Amino acid sequence: MMVPMASVEECRAAISKVSDRIMRVDEADRRKHLVERTVSVTARDLGTVFDMRLTSNGLADVASRAADAPAERAQVRITVSSDDLVELAEDRMDFAKAMFSGRVKIDASFSDLMRMRKLL
């Protein structure tokens, strides 16, 4: 039996929801906690990577590519299944629990992790 997975378009919509959530954070808090970073989100079951920039105006320049296509290494790298990405964006999954259970893998500096925690 085939397990359903979210599509590339559903993942793009999820990333847009996360960007909207960032924009709902008070502007002063965004300036205080947010440092512009390059971000990649790998949807491992789709073999797709979404590259973007985290800015004070949310997630910008979102582009997708095949996971095996060459690209510059992002400062914050997230690996997740497509379904879990959608669940996280829709607040149906706790980010910390997903990270500690291994459903979400984050490769970033400790300071970036702390900043992201305060924003999300």
What three-state secondary structure class fits 105? Answer: strand
Name the CATH superfamily housing domain 8-119.
Answer: SCP2 sterol-binding domain (3.30.1050.10)
Domain boundaries in the chain?
A: 8-119
Would you state the pLDDT for residue 117?
A: 65
Name the burial class of residue 112, with classes exposed (0-12), middle (13-18) and buried (19+) by CB atoms within 10 angstroms of its CB.
middle
Backbone angles phi, psi at 62, to 5 degrees: -70, 125
pLDDT per residue as tens digits for the range 3-35:
568 999 999 999 999 999 989 989 998 888 788
pLDDT per residue as tens digits for the range 74-118:
999 999 999 999 999 999 999 889 989 999 999 999 888 777 665
